Chains A and B, each alone.
Chain A
């Protein structure tokens, strides 16, 4: 039996129940009593600030009122009208920086209405009925190609199908869902919600998914433009930023996103190997998720090393707290200069203190070594640039407010476009907006 204290990289650090407990739902769902009590707190504000703060513009006061009047299915419909992934968003949205931050209750009692939890209550109730709440408009005979079955692609497909078009999704991976399936932390996406949601969305009809078809490999953009009436690109970010330091290819240095994907797809968590001492380089959601899940897999010491201060971290305060309550140490103002490798294996990482000088981050020259037998890279993902003909902006696809790209008949959205928030909810909004714009163009 391997324990937390076993050195090196090892599997089976915990007991079976402990794995189950660690990776269960982060926030257990509200009971109907709790939902009613919470719904009663909503003031049904005029031109409600929470609606403005939601990237998809869900009519939040209305859905909460529908919960209060014991009409959770109607509430879910109000949510789905703007956000067909309302179920996943209820679990993964950083509500503390979105809708709940805008709640007027913050002003009187510093405790917002728990919008995310209520949204989950409504969408869970509706999805449990197994019914698709929408009927498609009569067929327009138009076909749209979508690249990527992530939140952006699926949201686009659903809205197009609703409006009577046919959507064919080309997806490189064997499963649909994008990062919902391969990226989101396991304890936020418990009980196979990603696949249940894919089924729910595609059950409207008129959506087919062809797996194992990657743009740039099996298919080309020109091919899609010739064969379809419109194209939507929602392939997310395929590449990972490298550290660009010595020792990066040592055994034990891993890409955080890949580690999480492996964890999400694992049949048996106890078979997953994790280091005793783990270092995570980065300061975003990915860094937090990799660190917390490494800890939950039984790593003894997990440290996040971030090169700037606490307030600059991309991860929200809630996420940072989550890491800390799970026993993850966050070290600010340190940057990696070298991975220490002993006979091919990682034994630590050398970190240098940083400071801001005239607005620029510089190393102070003073370094120390953090022992680690595993190092995760979580310093951001990059757009793969599958399509050379598209105009970019800051290394991602340039779009206008209708999500049109520089190429005629090609729309794009989600993580692969410039100017976004890199959030599930933002990807859903892009997909929805693009579908509306495609519909307008095709009906003209």
Chain B
């Protein structure tokens, strides 16, 4: 039997799917609806000090759509909660009491003074919430006031606030990281050193979603002006995956629990984050696009995949892909692949040919004996995967490994041994023995 139960820092939830701190977790009504639908936990919409902030009264969101208006990227300029602290705390306490088996984590953002953090932590403890998440991520609005990403972008501040919080509460402390930084390992290390129990990432990415060419202002705009917002949804998943992997494989933070966030829409997205080391995942945009009901797809899909693979609990695959994330210099240069087009599946659109012809290695034919025919020329193919990426038919083009003979492109015999850049003759800094 497959068991989806999750234990993250001792915070237990019936499944590893939490709703990220955002509008879906803004108030009791929403959170109760989410729990009824089956979500494992929530990180409550970020609390701040009174007087509460206000939001614009114009549009907060902008979106990028793929074909058929499928939403793939969302941009927002919403701030933290715009409701009084007391009301939020009351609701948190009530919901936690009524839903004791669900994870209730409270997101916080207050000015960078120890006393401010001490005060709000005490108030949150009183709700019996399971933990806190420090929002060092909001890239807009709050950062202009020295909070959110303004803190998250300075590793020393991250460590300092984490330390204050650990010293002043019994609750587990999760530090939520901003992706708007060059090297994500720096704030993660600082959080770790400050004693944080875990990091969660990513928050949203600085973005302007588009420009209204009629009024010449960024989208979305309020009274003719716009500001940059935070980008999230399926489009940011690759950015988030990389950052999660970087932290998971960094010797300094290896083993630090991670809550994965960013573009998670399907069970597969979640499984990928977990394979790269996330102990659980948080979802925002997918719920904001389809409603809470998607939880059924997430849990059923994950369960089905786990039983197909023979995993009985999520701990069995968390982090399994981390050892296979490495630096470029350690990739095996003797591993030779060639693209292969399945002629039965090929619909002859010609896209593989033209992208290879125009922008890659001129390795795909367009004609054979006067007929439209697309086939890989092994003498030219470098195995780059571009044709696979643009082919509209799944599994029509595949990369096949050459295990013997000679690579017709280089004329070199296939070498079964591992060899990487560190020993390559073209590397001015090469060493004698390949390091792995």
Contact = CB atoms under 8 A, between A and B. Distances in A.
Contacts of A78: 300
Given A33-B394, A78-B300, A71 B294 contact: no
Interface string A33-70: 10010001100101000000000000000100110111
Interface string B263-307: 000111000000000000000000000110110110011011100
Contacts of B393: 33
Contacts of B305: 71
Contacts of A69: 266-268, 297, 301
Interface string A293-319: 000000000000000000000000000
Nearest to B269: A69
A74 B304 contact: yes
Given A40-B70, A74-B300, A65 B394 contact: no
A140 B391 CA distance: 55
A73 interface: yes
Interface string A109-132: 000000000000000000000000
A32 B70 CA distance: 21
Interface residues of B, number: 19
A13 B73 CA distance: 61
A36 B396 CA distance: 15
Contacts of B345: 33
Report whether over half of chain B's contact residues are helix, strand or loop; otherwise say mixed. Answer: helix
Contact of B297 (A33, A36, A46, A62): A62
A231 B297 CA distance: 37
B68 interface: yes
Interface in B319-371: 345
Interface in B239-281: 266-268
Contact of B268 (A36, A41, A62, A70): A70
Contacts of B294: 44, 65
A77 interface: yes
A71 B301 contact: yes
B304 A73 contact: yes
Contact of B68 (A41, A65, A68, A73): A41
A315 B393 CA distance: 38
B68 A46 contact: no
A78 B291 CA distance: 18
A66 B268 contact: no
Nearest to B347: A33
19 contacts: A32-B394, A33-B393, A44-B290, A44-B293, A46-B291, A62-B293, A62-B296, A66-B297, A66-B301, A68-B266, A69-B268, A70-B268, A71-B267, A71-B297, A71-B300, A74-B297, A74-B300, A74-B303, A78-B300
Interface of A: 32-33, 36, 40-41, 44, 46, 62, 65-66, 68-71, 73-74, 77-78
Given A41-B68, A44-B291, 4 more contacts: A33-B394, A69-B266, A71-B267, A71-B305
Interface of B: 68, 70, 266-268, 290-291, 293-294, 296-297, 300-301, 303-305, 345, 393-394
Shortest Cβ-Cβ A-B pairs, 10 listed: A69-B266, A74-B300, A71-B301, A74-B304, A65-B297, A44-B290, A71-B304, A69-B301, A73-B304, A74-B301
